Chain A
Amino acid sequence: MERASNGRVGVELDAHVESWLDDAFGAAARRVELDQFDFGYVELDLWFAAPTDTTDAPIIASIGEQRVGLVDPDATHALKAILATAALRAELPWTVGHLNRRKTEPRYVLDFPQPTDRDTPGT
């Protein structure tokens, strides 16, 4: 049994998305910043879509209209089930993600709550 202590899933951010994340970070109103450490995070809506060409491909994470990266493959299975049921409504699932800004590289770390069985209809 996994001893998950924190239950958050990471997003592997795309290359060259950092400048756009600067804008997104600034646009998010829900913000906690610690200037003393040049560190902070914002909460923003993160939504998911599955590539249509392959079934095993990682799930795409986006903010606004901007694709920002790929979801950690460990969470793909749970999210695929959620995406499949949402597709019946022609909808895309979303959640509140944390965009963390750091002093050192990588400058941004994006994560979101680990989906559980309770998140998947019919389970």
Chain B
Amino acid sequence: MLARGWVADEEEPFRRRLAFSRAASDGFVATAQFSLYETSSGPVVDSVRDCAKGLRRGAATGLARFATAGRWPKRPSLRVDATSGVECLPATTVLRAIAADPSVHVSLRDRTAQFAQPGRRSGVTLDDAKSVRAPLAALVAEIDEQALTFAEQHATVDAFLAALRSRVSGPTQPLADVVSALIAFDRGAEARDLLATSDENPSPEQRRFARQATRLLNGDVSLDQLDQALPHKPARPRLQLGLGELSNARGRARDASDAVDSVRRSAGASSRDELRALLKAQLAERKLTETPMWIESRLDELEPGYEKPPTAGTVRTIRALLGAVRDAVSSRDWEAVDPPRLIRPPDACY
């Protein structure tokens, strides 16, 4: 049984969703849908422009793209690219999709048909709102012919899982998609088996997923709990390059120098620990923070008998520094380095 019709999008008044659905086996519904702007009521000029943009974007990238096979009602989807490998969402999102509600929605996205026909990549040009309907008719035909067919081919749990499994052999294919789908389809035992036989040298993210999926399967944690906390990795400080920042930097440097001078005047016979505390206090008084290395270097300068490093070898120093950085970068793939066991964090660190 085929149903089709326009559905208004509550969040975007000018957007209409053209949706198709077809009953399939196992209580599944094969659906294909496409979102477009509908402007026959004569919207303002700006909206017509938006409409054209929407259609161009849709014609270029969206034809037959939204083929879905999944349970109804719709839930946050796990999207699968059928041509270039599985496009997985972060494990946290996938797990969320599995959700406490077993009627999870999983979609399969096909790009094979997207560029299958010559000329399909060109955008649709609209002169006015009245020309919306013609490209819509072409889209409907496209969806009928390809998207629904594609959706129907993957409208059962087994077909969907088979499509997912066929992607597992690829080097970039994460195991997470198949495991997530198995859990979603209440096939926990199969999920456990797959986890147990997975890659012997998993990446940190794969280890992480396996660990959390196992906790979920064991009932040690709920999806709501998992969803509450995202993994933490402190962001690196961003480089600030504005002229205002340069001016501020000069002011900060001057104030930091004043702080050091203040400590120097009151240094006396204080220990290094006492000087460190004093310098931190002086910096805090000026609302400044400096790196621990900067502080230690300034404390070095306050030590009796401190000698400033010679500047004659500046060029050699710069060369040495550049060489060290070049060697470090060129000789090793920083991202791929697997740290030795001695300094490797526990598996529970993310």
Partners in one complex: yes
Q: How far is the CA of A105 from the CA of B296 in the complex (A)?
A: 9
Name the interface residues of A88-112: CB closer than 8 Å to any CB of B. 88-96, 98, 100, 102, 104-106, 109-112
B221 lies within 8 A of A89 (CB): yes
Tell me which of B237, B255, B309, B341 has the highest count of chain A C-beta atoms within 10 A of its own C-beta.
B237
- A65 (CB) vs chain B CBs: closest residue: B346
Task: Given A3-B288, A28-B339, A82-B232, verify A113-B334 contact (CB < 8 Å).
Answer: no
B287 lies within 8 A of A2 (CB): yes
Q: Enumerate chain B residues within 8 angstroms of A23, measured Cβ to Cβ.
A: 342
A34 lies within 8 A of B290 (CB): no
User: Could you say which of A3, A86, A91, A96 contacts B287, with CB atoms under 8 Å apart?
Assistant: A3
Q: How far is the CB of B291 from chain A (nearest CB, A)?
A: 4
Q: Enumerate chain B residues within 8 angstroms of A90, measured Cβ to Cβ.
A: 215, 220-221, 348
A63 at the interface (CB under 8 A from B): yes
B252 at the interface (CB under 8 A from A): yes
Q: How far is the CA of A5 from the CA of B289 in the complex (A)?
A: 6
Name the interface residues of A55-99: CB closer than 8 Å to any CB of B. 62-65, 82, 85-96, 98
Q: Enumerate chain B residues within 8 angstroms of A51, measured Cβ to Cβ.
A: none
B231 at the interface (CB under 8 A from A): yes
Q: How far is the CA of A58 from the CA of B310 in the complex (A)?
A: 40
A29 lies within 8 A of B229 (CB): no
A119 lies within 8 A of B332 (CB): no
- B228 (CB) vs chain A CBs: closest residue: A88
B287 lies within 8 A of A1 (CB): yes
B296 lies within 8 A of A109 (CB): yes
User: Could you say which of B230, B256, B337, B348 contacts A121, with CB atoms under 8 Å apart?
Assistant: B230
A17 at the interface (CB under 8 A from B): no
User: Could you say which of B234, B295, B303, B325 contacts A113, with CB atoms under 8 Å apart?
Assistant: B234
Q: Mark A24-58, 1 if CB is under 8 A from B, else 0.
A: 10011111111111001000111100000000000
A27 lies within 8 A of B249 (CB): no
Q: How far is the CB of A41 from chain B (nearest CB, A)?
A: 8
State the majority secondary structure of interface residues on A. mixed
A29 lies within 8 A of B226 (CB): no
Q: How far is the CB of B328 from chain A (nearest CB, A)?
A: 5
Q: Enumerate chain A residues within 8 angstroms of B309, measured Cβ to Cβ.
A: 37
Q: How far is the CA of A112 from the CA of B340 in the complex (A)?
A: 20
Q: Enumerate chain B residues within 8 angstroms of A6, measured Cβ to Cβ.
A: 237, 289-291, 294
Name the interface residues of B331-350: CB closer than 8 Å to any CB of A. 332, 334, 337, 339-346, 348-350
B232 lies within 8 A of A4 (CB): no
Q: How far is the CB of A110 from chain B (nearest CB, A)?
A: 8
B292 lies within 8 A of A95 (CB): no
- A6 (CB) vs chain B CBs: closest residue: B291
Q: Enumerate chain B residues within 8 angstroms of A95, measured Cβ to Cβ.
A: 233-234
B287 lies within 8 A of A100 (CB): no
Q: Enumerate chain B residues within 8 angstroms of A45, measured Cβ to Cβ.
A: 339, 343-345, 349
A106 lies within 8 A of B296 (CB): yes
Q: How far is the CA of A53 from the CA of B225 in the complex (A)?
A: 24
Q: Mark B188-217, 1 if CB is under 8 A from A, else 0.
A: 000000000000000000001000100100
Q: How far is the CA of A64 from the CA of B252 in the complex (A)?
A: 36
Q: Mark A1-26, 1 if CB is under 8 A from B, else 0.
A: 11111111011000000000001100
Q: Enumerate chain B residues within 8 angstroms of A32, measured Cβ to Cβ.
A: 321, 324-325, 328
Task: Given A100-B293, A119-B235, verify A24-B349 contact (CB < 8 Å).
Answer: no
Q: How far is the CA of A105 from the CA of B271 in the complex (A)?
A: 13
Q: How far is the CA of A119 from the CA of B234 in the complex (A)?
A: 6
B262 at the interface (CB under 8 A from A): no
Which residues of B does A touch, CB under 8 Å? 208, 212, 215, 220-221, 225-226, 228-237, 248-249, 252, 255-256, 272, 286-296, 300, 303, 309, 313, 316-317, 320-321, 324-325, 328, 332, 334, 337, 339-346, 348-350
User: Could you pull out 11 A-B pairs where Cβ atoms are within 8 angstroms?
Assistant: A5-B249, A6-B237, A8-B292, A32-B324, A32-B325, A37-B309, A45-B344, A88-B225, A89-B221, A92-B345, A93-B234
Q: 3 smallest A-B Cβ distances: which pairs? A: A10-B292, A85-B229, A93-B232
